[in-house]
């Protein structure tokens, strides 16, 4: 389990090497930059790490589990949210998002 460095009071901080995640290369190839990681403990006690990447107001979060689950959102206020599975689906979604929002 990765250790988060310099966590704030909510536990958010930096993962020592987010590039180890299988979806990292897909995300950064489309212009997103690693921002932070957040530990999340589920009701069953299972603890996972969410890694967040940003491109302006656009966010991508990936969960540090083998299932390759990801989610995107556009700014906190918009409420737009999308969840998917796997690198090919993520690449298609982010490419479509870049076209829709005119991201460079």
Secondary structure of 1-18 as H, E, C letters: CCCCECCCCCCCEECCCH
User: Mean pLDDT over residues 61-65, rounded?
Assistant: 82
Give the containing element (helix H, strand E) for 87: helix 87-101
d(CA 43, CA 7): 22
**pLDDT for the residue numbered 33:** 93
**pLDDT for the residue numbered 83:** 84
Contact 4, 18 (CB under 8 A): no
Q: What percent of the chain has pLDDT over 70?
A: 88
């Amino acid at each position: 389990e990765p250790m988060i460095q310099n966590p704030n009071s909510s536990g958010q901080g930096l993962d020592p090497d987010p590039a180890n995640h299988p979806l990292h290369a897909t995300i950064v190839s489309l212009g997103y930059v690693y921002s932070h990681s957040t530990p999340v403990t589920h009701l069953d006690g299972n603890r996972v790490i969410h890694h967040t990447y940003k491109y302006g107001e656009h966010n991508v979060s990936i969960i540090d589990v083998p299932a390759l689950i990801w989610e995107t959102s556009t700014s906190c206020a918009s409420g737009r949210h999308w969840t998917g599975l796997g690198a090919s689906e993520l690449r298609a979604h982010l490419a479509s998002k870049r076209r829709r929002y005119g991201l460079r």
